[in-house]
Amino acid sequence: MMGTTSASRSLLLAGAFLGAFTLSAAAQQPATPPASGAAPAAQPLPPGSPLIGRPDGEAAARLAPVAPPPIPTQADKLPLAKLKVPAGFNIEVYASGMANARSLAMSDKGTVFVGSRLVDKVYAIADKDGKKSVKVIASGLYRPNGVAFKDGTLYIAELSKVSKIEKIDENLDSPPKPTVIYDKLPKDEAHGWKFIGIGPDNKLYVPVGQPGNNVLHDADHGQIRRMNLDGSGAEVYAVGVRNTVGFDWNPETKQLYFTDNGRDWLSETVPEDELNRVTKAGEDFGAPFCYQGNIIDQELGWGKNCKDYTAPVGLMGPHTAALGMRFYTGTMFPKQYKNAIFVARHGSWNKSQKQGGDVVVVKLNKDGTVKSMEPFLTGFLEDNKYVGRPVDVMLLKDGSMLVSDDWNGAVYRISYGKQKVAAK
């Protein structure tokens, strides 16, 4: 029975790539008119489809989610030479060969864990004497996007559950199967993949996105939950959240900051993605009634007022898909980056001229609001096409920063200062 279930799940996961290609291609190819000349009947879209609500017209019909390559890019084919960082910084390939590399976490011993969304695997990047090796430490999972680490235990968030693997560093070559600690998450595919993190309160934070582009949903969606590390004591921490795939805690105030993706198909220029701050448990950030703090939704916002919701502390650009983010608490980068936020913007798909596909640095005012947003890592977008798509960022112990790229299945390392050259 277990073998049959595993095989079925593997087929389903493999089909995710095919489905993504099919969706993109079908959305962009003109329909073949029937021989009779009669207008073809519109095929209903599946629940939660990102194409629900797409306006009529030739320009909109060309827009659809961008399917990634089905396999990781070979190391010598990675677009490293196209990637640009500010003067004084260096970028190199940290590890490659990890299909759909997404969220990042690091153990106390320096092992880097990498989640995925479209495949069934969680990877570990082990570094021994400067030599890195990639290992699959969990497979047969369903959308294991989120990873977090605490006190020797790796936590993994799938579509509808959270699991853990204890003493993972000691068992990289023969890891035990994950043990489920929480299985009360919805099973909706739309915005079902999850970023997870462990807060300064020693609790596990897990988001639940809206089950569609822009929908009235039940009380189990559109929120961030938190729970004890054993999965007990789950509670709703924030609501009015459309789809967050990245968050971190301000090292000074200990307040949670999170990115949130705005709705689609309102226009190409609004709403913008958001950077939000939680100042107290139970705050409502507006979705699906209010977006970017000042736009009442034209479909669902009747009778609502944006003043009744917590406004974002900053805007991240329209449809840029702001995902993973981390406060910079290291010492390697120049002092102007201290406690700034690095945000990976995966890049838009529903804009005629794509935007994002980069890592930006967000600097804050003393009151915690956004002072500025500047480009930091660019080059993933070339001639309106992606050569890579950043997903998450994470600091190493030496203060350098990792950036994951699910398009190429790779992780890059950004450092500052003169690079060390190995002796010949």
The secondary structure of 43-94 as a DSSP string is: PPPPTT-TTTTPPSSHHHHT--PPPPPSSPPPGGGS-GGG-B--TTEEEEEE
**Are the beta carbons of 361 and 341 closer than 8 angstroms?**
yes
Position 273 in a domain: yes
Position 69 in a domain: no
What's the distance, CA 11 to chain centroid?
A: 24
CA angle 195, 199, 204 (to 5 degrees): 55
The whole-number pLDDT of residue 14 equals 42
Q: From residue 340, give the alpha-carbon distance in Å to each of 100, 243, 257, 261, 423.
A: 27, 23, 12, 20, 35
The whole-number pLDDT of residue 319 equals 98
Residues linked to residue 326 through DSSP beta bridges, in sequence order: 342
φ, ψ of residue 24 in degrees (nearest 5): -65, -45
The whole-number pLDDT of residue 172 equals 97
Give the Cα separation of 136 and 177 in Å (integer). Answer: 12
Position 22 in a domain: no
Give the Cα separation of 176 and 172 in Å (integer). Answer: 9
The 3-state DSSP class for residue 196 equals coil
Position 209 in a domain: yes
The whole-number pLDDT of residue 355 equals 98
Position 229 in a domain: yes
Q: From residue 387, give the alpha-carbon distance in Å to each of 74, 277, 306, 358, 382.
A: 13, 32, 38, 11, 7
Q: Provide the number of structural domains found in the chain.
A: 1
Give the Cα separation of 208 and 412 in Å (integer). Answer: 28
**Are the beta carbons of 226 and 276 closer than 8 angstroms?**
no
Q: What is the chain's alpha carbon radius of gyration, rounded to the nearest angstrom? A: 21
Residue 94: CATH number of its domain: 2.120.10.30
What single DSSP character describes residue 348? Answer: -
Query: Going by C-beta distance under 8 Å and a sequence separation of 6 or more, which residues neighbour residue 349?
Result: 63, 64, 65, 66, 319, 321
The whole-number pLDDT of residue 128 equals 87
The 3-state DSSP class for residue 118 equals coil
CA angle 145, 147, 152 (to 5 degrees): 160
Write out pLDDT tens, residues 271-330.
999 999 999 999 999 999 999 999 999 999 999 999 999 999 999 999 999 999 999 999
Position 2 in a domain: no
Residues of the chain below pLDDT 70: 1-42, 420-424
Position 25 in a domain: no
Position 368 in a domain: yes
Give the Cα separation of 192 and 221 in Å (integer). Answer: 10
**Are the beta carbons of 287 and 293 closer than 8 angstroms?**
no
Domain that holds residue 390: 75-416
